[in-house]
Amino acid sequence: MEDVIVVYKEKPELNNPILIEGLPGVGNVGKLAAEHLVDQLKGTKFIEIFSKYFPPQVLVEDSGVVKLVNNEMYYVKRDGSANDLIILIGDYQGLTPDGQYELADRMLRIAQEFKVGMTFTLGGYGLGKLIEKPRVLGAVSHEDLVTEMKEFGVTFSKGEPGSGIVGASGLLLGLGKVYGMRSVCLMGETSGYFVDPKAAQAVLEVLSNVLKVKIDFSDLEDKAEQIDMLTSKLKETEPQQEPRKEDLGYIG
- Which residues are near a copy of itself by CB under 8 A? 1, 5, 7, 50-60, 62-69, 94-95, 97-102, 104-106, 138-143, 146, 156, 158-161, 164-168, 170-171, 173-175, 177-178, 185
Length in residues, the chain: 252
Closest separation in Å from C-beta 222 to a copy of itself: 21
Closest separation in Å from C-beta 11 to a copy of itself: 18
3-state secondary structure (DSSP) of residue 50: strand
Identify which of residues 1 and 212 has a Cβ nearer to a copy of itself in the complex.
Answer: 1
DSSP secondary structure of 114-142 = TT--EEEEEEEEE-SS--SS--EEEEESS
Identify which of residues 164 and 235 has a Cβ nearer to a copy of itself in the complex.
Answer: 164
Identify which of residues 101 and 152 has a Cβ nearer to a copy of itself in the complex.
Answer: 101
Closest separation in Å from C-beta 6 to a copy of itself: 11
Identify which of residues 82 and 146 has a Cβ nearer to a copy of itself in the complex.
Answer: 146
Closest separation in Å from C-beta 92 to a copy of itself: 10
Identify which of residues 84 and 160 has a Cβ nearer to a copy of itself in the complex.
Answer: 160
Helix (H) or strand (E) holding 228: helix 218-237
Closest separation in Å from C-beta 1 to a copy of itself: 4
Handedness of CA 239, 245, 251, 252 (dihedral sign): negative
Cα–Cα distance measured from residue 11 to residue 113, given in angstroms and rounded to the nearest whole number: 10
CB hemisphere CA count around 137 (13 angstroms): 21
* CA distances (Å), origin 25, targets 32, 84, 167, 190: 10, 26, 8, 11
Cα–Cα distance measured from residue 245 to residue 242, given in angstroms and rounded to the nearest whole number: 9
Closest separation in Å from C-beta 104 to a copy of itself: 7
Identify which of residues 151 and 236 has a Cβ nearer to a copy of itself in the complex.
Answer: 151
Would you say 118 and 18 are in contact if contact means Cβ atoms under 8 Å apart? yes
Please name which of 28, 20, 18 lies closest in space to residue 252, comparing C-alpha atoms.
28
